[in-house]
C-alpha cells in the first residue's frame, strides 16, 4: 500500500456493464431462494408433463388379450395389446371369465374367420386392430387438437409471465436497494449510470434466459421420457422462436422495471411504481391465453411488442403464421426494445440519485437539467 502502482485505466462502458452483470448473476445464483425456486420450477414442469401424460392415457397398460394359436396370424402386432397364446376356444373363454385377459380372439366366422370374446364390451384398441381402416391423409398435420393447443399457449404465456415478473421484480428490488443503501453513489463515482443499467439488464436477462432454457430442456426431456415425441416435433420450432423472442422481450421489460424502480428511494414504495410494468407483463399474457382461438386478436397481439414474445410462438405452433411473420415481429420488437432502453436509460440516469419523494416520470424526461 505504500508504493503507488500506476493507476489502472477505468473500464470501458462495455466492460463495466459486464462486471455489473457478473455481480448480478453470481450474487443471485448463490442465494438459497433462487436455487430453491428454480428447482421447484423445474420439478413442477417435469411433474406437469408426466401427470398430463398419465392423464391423457398415453401410458395406460397394454390390454391383455388371449389368442388361440391357430388364428394368431390374423392379429397384426399393435401397440397397446399384450397377447398370450391359448390352446383353444374353451381355454380362451376361461381366461376371459377368470379376468386374466380382457378379451380373447378365437376362430369363428366373419371376414377374418375370427370372433372376439369379452365379458361386457370389447376393448376399442383390439377392435381397431381387427378393423380395416381406410388410409387417412391429413391436409393440415400441424393443427393440433384443442387441448394441446390450449396447454401449449398456456405454457408459453405462463413461462414468460412468471420469468418476466420474477426477474423484473428482482431488478426492481436491486435497483431500489442500491438507492436505499446509497451504494449507488459509490458505484456511480466509478462507472456511468448507463453501464450500471446495462449490466443490471444484461445479468438478469441472462439469468431469465438460462432459467427458461432449462425449462425448455426439462420439457423436452419430459416429453421424450413419457414417449410424447410426436408433440415435440410439433412444438420444436416454436420453442426455438419462443426463446429468441423471450430474450428480446425480456430485455424490453427489464428496462421498464429498472427505470420504474429508479423513481423511488424505498423498497416500500416499489409496489406503486411497478404497477404499470406488471400490467404490461400480465395483460398480454391474459390476452393471448383468452383469445388463443381468436385469429384476428392473436395476429394483432403477435405484432405488439409486449405480447409478441408469447403470441408469435403460439401462432407458429398453431401453424397460422407465414415464415416472414416472426421476422417482422422480431424486428418490431427489437426496435421498440432499443427505444424503450433509450428512454429507460434517461429516466434511470436522472432519477437514480434523487432521494426522498418519488420522482415524476414527466419531470425527469422533460427537464434537461433535472440531473
Partner 1 sequence: MLELHGISRSFGDRLVLDDVSFTVGRGRLTGFVGGNGAGKTTTMRIILGVLAPHAGTVTVDGRPVAGAQRARFGYMPEERGLYPKMQLVEHLTYLARLHGFDREGATGRAEALVERLGLTPRAKDPVESLSLGNQQRAQIAAALVHDPDVLVLDEPFSGLDPMAVEVVQGVLAERAAQGAPVLFSSHQLDVVERLCDDLVIIAGGKVRAAGTREDLRREHGRARHEIVAEGDMGWLRDVPDVRVDELAGGSAVFEAPADVAQHVLGAALARGPVRAFTPLRPSLAEIFRDVVTDEPELEEVAL
Q: Which residue has the cell 443499467?
A: 197
Q: How far is the CB of 186 from partner 1 (least distance, A)?
A: 6
**Residue 27 lies near partner 1 (rule: CB under 8 A):** yes
How many residues of this chain interact with partner 1, rule: CB under 8 A? 33
Rule CB under 8 A: choose which of 14, 40, 100, 182 binds partner 1.
Answer: 182
**Residue 181 lies near partner 1 (rule: CB under 8 A):** yes
Grid coordinates standing for 62? 397394454
**Residue 16 lies near partner 1 (rule: CB under 8 A):** yes
**Residue 151 lies near partner 1 (rule: CB under 8 A):** no
**Residue 29 lies near partner 1 (rule: CB under 8 A):** no
**Residue 25 lies near partner 1 (rule: CB under 8 A):** no
- Pairing relationship of beta strands 114-118 and 81-86 according to DSSP bridges: unpaired
188 vs 332, beta carbon nearer partner 1: 188
31 vs 94, beta carbon nearer partner 1: 31
Binding part of the chain for partner 1, among 152-160, 175-183, 304-312, 339-347 by CB under 8 A, reads 175-183
Q: How far is the CB of 203 from partner 1 (least distance, A)?
A: 13
d(CA 198, CA 337): 13
- Cβ atoms of residues 83 and 101 within 8 Å: no
**Residue 142 lies near partner 1 (rule: CB under 8 A):** no
From residue 189 to residue 208, the character string flagging contacts with partner 1 as x (rule: CB under 8 A) and all else as - is xxxx----------------
d(CA 231, CA 87): 41
Report CA-CA distances (Å) from 79 to 63, 64, 76, 96, 339: 9, 12, 10, 20, 56
Grid coordinates standing for 103? 378379451
**Residue 131 lies near partner 1 (rule: CB under 8 A):** no
**Residue 33 lies near partner 1 (rule: CB under 8 A):** no
Q: Please state, as a whole number, how many other Cβ atoms lie within 10 Å of the Cβ of residue 141.
A: 10
**Residue 346 lies near partner 1 (rule: CB under 8 A):** no
**Residue 32 lies near partner 1 (rule: CB under 8 A):** no
**Residue 367 lies near partner 1 (rule: CB under 8 A):** no
**Residue 23 lies near partner 1 (rule: CB under 8 A):** yes
Phi first, then psi: give them for residue 53, nearest 5 degrees: -65, -40
For helices 270-290 and 146-180, angle between their N-to-C axes, nearest 10 degrees: 170
**Residue 141 lies near partner 1 (rule: CB under 8 A):** no
- Cβ atoms of residues 223 and 254 within 8 Å: no
Output the DSSP codes for 166-235.
HHHHHHHHHHHHHHHTTHHHHHHTTS-HHHHHHHHHHHHHHHHHHHHHHHHHHHHHHHHHTT-HHHHHHH
Residues that bind partner 1 (CB under 8 A): 1-2, 4-5, 7-11, 16, 19-20, 23, 27, 31, 177-178, 180-192, 353, 369, 371
Amino acid at each position: 500500500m505504500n508504493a503507488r502502482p500506476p493507476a489502472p485505466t477505468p473500464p470501458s462502458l462495455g466492460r463495466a456493464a459486464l462486471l455489473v452483470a457478473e455481480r448480478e448473476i453470481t450474487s443471485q445464483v448463490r442465494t438459497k431462494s433462487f436455487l430453491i425456486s428454480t428447482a421447484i420450477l423445474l420439478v413442477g414442469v417435469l411433474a406437469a408433463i408426466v401427470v398430463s401424460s398419465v392423464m391423457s392415457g398415453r401410458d395406460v397398460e397394454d390390454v391383455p388379450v388371449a389368442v388361440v394359436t391357430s388364428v394368431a396370424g390374423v392379429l397384426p402386432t399393435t401397440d397397446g395389446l399384450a397377447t398370450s397364446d391359448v390352446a383353444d376356444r374353451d381355454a380362451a373363454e376361461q381366461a376371459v371369465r377368470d379376468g386374466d385377459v380382457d378379451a380373447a380372439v378365437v376362430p369363428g366366422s366373419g371376414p377374418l374367420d375370427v370372433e372376439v370374446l369379452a365379458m361386457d364390451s370389447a376393448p376399442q384398441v383390439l377392435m381397431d386392430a381387427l378393423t380395416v381402416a381406410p388410409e387417412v391423409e391429413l391436409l393440415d398435420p400441424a393443427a393440433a387438437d384443442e387441448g394441446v393447443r390450449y396447454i401449449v399457449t398456456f405454457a408459453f404465456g405462463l413461462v414468460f409471465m412468471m420469468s418476466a415478473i420474477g426477474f423484473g421484480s428482482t431488478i426492481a428490488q436491486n435497483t431500489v436497494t442500491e438507492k436505499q443503501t446509497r451504494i449507488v453513489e459509490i458505484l456511480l463515482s466509478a462507472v456511468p449510470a448507463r453501464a450500471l443499467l446495462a449490466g443490471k439488464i444484461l445479468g438478469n436477462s441472462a439469468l431469465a434466459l438460462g432459467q427458461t432454457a432449462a425449462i425448455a430442456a426439462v420439457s423436452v426431456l419430459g416429453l421424450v421420457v413419457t414417449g410424447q415425441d410426436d408433440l415435440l416435433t410439433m412444438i420444436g420450432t416454436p420453442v426455438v422462436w419462443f426463446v429468441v423472442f423471450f430474450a428480446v422481450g425480456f430485455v424490453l421489460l427489464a428496462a421498464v422495471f429498472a427505470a420504474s424502480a429508479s423513481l423511488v428511494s424505498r423498497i416500500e414504495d416499489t409496489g406503486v411504481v411497478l404497477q404499470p410494468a406488471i400490467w404490461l407483463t400480465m395483460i398480454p399474457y391474459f390476452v393471448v391465453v383468452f383469445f388463443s382461438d381468436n385469429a384476428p386478436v392473436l395476429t394483432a397481439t403477435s405484432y405488439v411488442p409486449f405480447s409478441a414474445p408469447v403470441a408469435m410462438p403460439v401462432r407458429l405452433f398453431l401453424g397460422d403464421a407465414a415464415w416472414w411473420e416472426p421476422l417482422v415481429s422480431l424486428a418490431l420488437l427489437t426496435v421498440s426494445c432499443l427505444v424503450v432502453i433509450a428512454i429507460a436509460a434517461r429516466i434511470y440516469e436522472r432519477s437514480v440519485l434523487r432521494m426522498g419523494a418519488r420522482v415524476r416520470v414527466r419531470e425527469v424526461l422533460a427537464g434537461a437539467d433535472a440531473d
